[in-house]
Chains A and B, each alone.
Chain A
Amino acid sequence: MYHFNKILAVAFIILLTGCSIGGEKKIKIFSLEKPREKLNYPMPTPLEMQEIYWHIITSKNAQEVFKKLEELGIDPVLFGITDKDFQVLARNFAQIRQKLQETNNLLLEYKKYYEDSGKSE
């Protein structure tokens, strides 16, 4: 009986502590780096410019030019600029073109920097 009580006591202790023998399972926390989604906008569609014709009118050829326009069925009206303004217009166009080129290049450089390196934030 004495031994039985001893065994019972040991069994009872094991029963009470049994759950903690293996210990609690530890929760593992890990972080996975997921790169930011790419914006992937297509590049802007290139412009297709329409051709225009420049008429040069002087005091000598004005009548001839207007006559030719009438013959071609075009209204004999011309929107004119002086030679100096033509120079300004050419410069303005060049500047617009350069700004366009600069912006497009910047866009490409940004794309290259943030997408090619694979470290986009």
Chain B
Amino acid sequence: MLLGKIKMFITVLMIAGVAGAGLYVMKLRSDNAVLKANQTKLETAITEQNKVLEQQKKDFSAILESNKKLNNLVTTFKKDLQDLDKRFTKKNRDIGKLALQRTKSIERIVNGGGNNASRCIELASGAEHTEAELKATLKSEINPECPALANPNYVPFQ
């Protein structure tokens, strides 16, 4: 009777052990599946992060380039204004007195300057350059009111 009970106990224990082992293996497999899924997610996240970082790098360099362009533009503006002032005051020039002495010449110069300035405004508002403007490389060929804008191929003598 006792032997029978012991046998039964051992059998139950073995069955429980096998069932426990089975459950443990199943749990391990489930954990493994979760870990694999996590791994995939992490890898995807890293790839996405790398893409974001790459895009950020590109954006920063684009911003720097754009800033540089705009700063150059502002420098050009200052120079253009200085050149304009110089034209009126170079070597103690007095345009009023000059106009008294050489009225016709100054009238011609003023009208030429006015036309050039108008052309500068057209170009600044987005007008297309003419072929002559693009080809101009000599000082005699350029629009002196806004050479940087009107004649992109003109390199002023420093």
Which of B66, B81, B85, B114 is within 8 Å of A54, CB to CB? B114
Per-residue contact bits, chain A 50-88, to B (CB 8 Å; 1 contact, 0 not): 011111101011000000000000000000001110110
What range describes how many residues of A lie at the interface? 35 or more
In Å, the complex CA distance between A109 and B66 comes to 7
Partner of A97, one of B55, B62, B106, B121: B121
Bound CA span A113–B149, Å: 22
Establish whether residues B145 and A94, one from each chain, have CB atoms under 8 Å apart when the complex forms. Answer: yes
Q: How many A-B residue pairs have CB under 8 A?
A: 112
- Docked pose: A97 CA to B74 CA in angstroms: 12
Contact with A along B76-89 (1 / 0, CB 8 A): 01001100110010
Chain A residues positioned under 8 Å from B123 (CB to CB): 46, 101
Partner of B70, one of A61, A94, A109, A119: A109
Tell which of A98, A106, A113 touches B63, judged by Cβ atoms closer than 8 Å.
A113
Q: Does B11 contact A (CB under 8 A)?
A: no
A44 within 8 A of B: yes
Closest to A82 in B: B96
Are A97 and B84 in touch, CB under 8 angstroms?
no
Q: Is the CB of B95 within 8 A of A49?
A: no
CA distance A61 to B94 in the complex (A): 19
B30 to chain A, nearest CB (A): 15
B118 lies within 8 A of chain A by Cβ: yes
Could you list which residues of chain A lie within 8 angstroms of chain B, going by C-beta atoms? 43-49, 51-56, 58, 60-61, 82-84, 86-87, 90-91, 93-98, 100-102, 104-106, 109, 112-113, 117, 119
Chain B interface residues (CB < 8 Å from chain A): 55, 58-59, 62-63, 66, 69-70, 73-74, 77, 80-81, 84-85, 88, 94-96, 99-100, 103, 106-107, 110-111, 113-115, 117-128, 145-146, 149
Do A44 and B95 touch (CB < 8 A)? no
- CB contacts (< 8 Å) of A98 on chain B: these are 77, 80-81, 124
